[in-house]
Amino acid sequence: MASDKKIRIGINGFGRIGRLVARVALQRNDVELVAVNDPFITTDYMTYMFKYDTVHGQWKHFDVKVKDSKTLLFGEKPVTVFGIRNPEEIPWGEVGADYVVESTGVFTDKDKAAAHLKGGAKKVVISAPSKDAPMFVVGVNEKEYKPELDIVSNASCTTNCLAPLAKVYFDLYPCDIFIYCCFHLYYKFAFFLMKLLNLNFVQVINDRFGIVEGLMTTVHAITGLSFGYITS
């Protein structure tokens, strides 16, 4: 890639994953964040949640503030903000977003994610397991990516943690069955419960911290692992 050629990205869904993608993009010289879409939160809320992260800490690189209801300023860099529910209507092409990170957790199959292409995007990366989009995990099978693939999945957070370790094990000791335990926060469950009880005053605290508890349940990551690695 030429030194002056940047990957221009847009983010659909400014939740946990979307904000972390933005943090990484804003610290890279080869990536430019041009737009964010989220119809459910205000620019003030976006700014607060971006600046203060429980795990990664407070953002210290440059000031982040609201310019207006449709623009965030990251230092002197303006980033367009949309609040559109239908992905077909998001004008990615108008702001020059060639790549879209689909991080809502809703549009996870190819047909739904393809709506971003109608808005002008050239490629879509789904930040969740997909039932029909090719899934790639860096360090496991990213070399199988082909340029003609317009919609891909980066699998799940759990798959990205487990698959590299599983690859090392499988390469040394091939096996048919692989069993693992996953410890995961259930902050989304708590969020929906509090919304049901109209406890909106704790929304910001809950979104940042979650609830440090454990639940035994099944996770979608096993699908990401079986399709993303074992069959590759």
CA–CA dist 110, 91 (Å, integer) = 19
CA angle 133, 135, 140 (to 5 degrees): 165
| Cα–Cα dist 112/132, whole Å | 11
Tell me the C-alpha to C-alpha distance, in Å, between residue 211 and each of 150, 188, 197. Answer: 37, 9, 17
At 95, give phi and psi (nearest 5°): -100, 0
Is 181 labeled as catalytic in the residue annotation? no
Phi-psi group of 206: left, alpha or beta (phi > 0 → left; psi -120 to 50 → alpha; rest → beta): alpha
* Catalytic residue list: 157
